[in-house]
Amino acid sequence: MAARTPFVAGNWKMNLLLADAVALAEGLMPLVASSAGVEIAVCPTYTTLHAVGKALAGSNIQLGAQNAYVKESGAYTGEISPRMLMDVGCSWTIIGHSERRHILGEDDAFLNEKTRFALASGLNVMFCIGELLEERKSGAMNAVLERQLTRGLDGLDAELARVVVAYEPVWAIGTGETATPDQAEEAHVFVRSVIASMFGEAAAAAIRIQYGGSVKPDNAAELISRENVDGFLVGGAALKADSFAAIVNACAQ
């Protein structure tokens, strides 16, 4: 099995005004400056990306966006292109977060287009998937994850090396309810099997699969100890420097 470097990313969602966003970045840097063997990113709002990126310059924390549009420029009021994100220092974008799927109505085909365009533009992608509680209860979980992966990552080839999959069960996001390590591992094993059937065994062994959904300092160590959990996408606990740093450090080697 390929050794996979854990990747911990903070999704700040629609939180923090400019001064607080910069202060969070500045507070975080010293706490993770010597965290070895773990890749780190934060994903602030569009309005704070540039300032946070400047604050993080030269640090071991990468900058990511929470979304990116499917055109480079033009008459697309309110949208932001991958090139604009790279211009302010982003190397990552989240695509397909459940809040965009379920609140903003983004479907598999649109998310595939976004993923392909972001990758073609040079961004790396954290591609989010996850089942609703009713889907888990009705036994449809694997079918949902398979559909989200096969449609969302359709048409990718070598660019898959710049994709991280984030498994985020919707019932665990922002609820305080975390998947157990067994539930996370089981889902990640299934995700890896779908990647193997789409792209082959080597790609499946290499791809990193983050877990997301109420990750906290006190559950991170147990989750990351599972073989197929390769890091985290963290929401609420990423808004405090000490809790995000503790999650990063639970993954440091």
List of residues contacting ligand PGA (CB under 6 A) = 11, 168, 173-174, 212-215, 233-237
Return the number of other C-beta atoms located less than 10 Å from residue 176's C-beta: 9
Taking alpha carbons only, the member of 235, 98, 99, 97 closest to residue 174 is: 235
Tell me whether residue 168 is one of the annotated catalytic residues.
yes
Catalytic residue among 97, 106, 185, 188: 97
Residue 57 identity? A
In the complex, the smallest distance separating the C-beta of residue 138 from ligand PGA, rounded to whole angstroms, is 22
Taking alpha carbons only, the member of 237, 65, 97, 246 closest to residue 166 is: 97
Question: E-assigned strands of the chain?
Answer: 7-11, 39-43, 61-65, 90-95, 124-129, 163-167, 208-212, 231-234
In the complex, the smallest distance separating the C-beta of residue 229 from ligand PGA, rounded to whole angstroms, is 15
Nearer to ligand PGA, 111 or 234 (CB): 234
In the complex, the smallest distance separating the C-beta of residue 110 from ligand PGA, rounded to whole angstroms, is 19
203/197 Cα distance (integer angstroms): 10
Nearer to ligand PGA, 97 or 199 (CB): 97
Residue 153 identity? L
- In the complex, residue closest to ligand PGA by CB: 235
Tell me whether residue 97 is one of the annotated catalytic residues.
yes
Nearer to ligand PGA, 66 or 228 (CB): 66
Catalytic residue among 106, 131, 135, 168: 168
Match 């602030």 to its residue by tokens. 44
Match 């010597």 to its residue by tokens. 34
Nearer to ligand PGA, 139 or 176 (CB): 176
Q: Indicate which residues carry an active-site annotation.
A: 97, 168
